[in-house]
Amino acid sequence: MEARIALKGKHGGVPDTVTEYAERKLSKLERLFHRPPTVELLGTYERGQYVVELNVDGDGIFLRSEERCPELHAAIDNVTAKLDRQVKRFKDRVRHDHRKPVRDVNDADAAPTVDDDEPFEPKIARRKHYVMKPMLPEEAALQLEMIDHPFFVFRNLETGDVSVIYRRRDGSYGLIEPGA
């Protein structure tokens, strides 16, 4: 079974040579998953640089990586290497569970032990509850600026759904809306 790979060009089709190169690079990601992942590669050209976005959905995790580079093949290399590191780091974290072992106060010299068979359980340090006032995305962007957080969750007045607005690296805003 092979990974399902979708290659998209924002401003048109993807040349065959680029498609073959990207598929060869992305096929190496398969070995990191138990089941074949769904892979989406989106390439654009902005301000003299290629922007390559890579989304991988596999084994119950969703990973995203983005790279900018003046050369398309280098951007593909960089984004796949970055995602490879992300997958390995996530799997290592799950395997080793990064929680500090509990030590007996009376036995300070004893070596700590960690059970490697325990599944990874993320620790939720804080919970917030608040009433979501329905608002337009533009109003949510203003709220985001006032609270100085990287994202803001709100109920979209236009759709009635819960949405997230976030600040992008370039200073613009992104809007995440639930889909079917």
- Is 120 among the domain residues? no
Q: 137: Cβ–Cβ under 8 A, 6 or more apart, which residues?
A: 156, 158, 163, 165, 173, 175
pLDDT tens digits, 3-56: 566 777 776 667 778 878 888 887 777 777 778 788 888 888 888 888 888 888
Residue 149: give its domain's CATH number: 3.30.505.50
- Is 16 among the domain residues? yes
- Is 37 among the domain residues? yes
- Is 105 among the domain residues? no
> Within this chain, do residues 92 and 138 fall inside the same structural domain, yes or no?
no
Q: Domain span at residue 89?
A: 4-96
- pTM: predicted TM-score of the whole model, two decimal places: 0.53
Q: Which of 32, 66, 96 is the last residue of a domain?
A: 96
- Is 117 among the domain residues? no
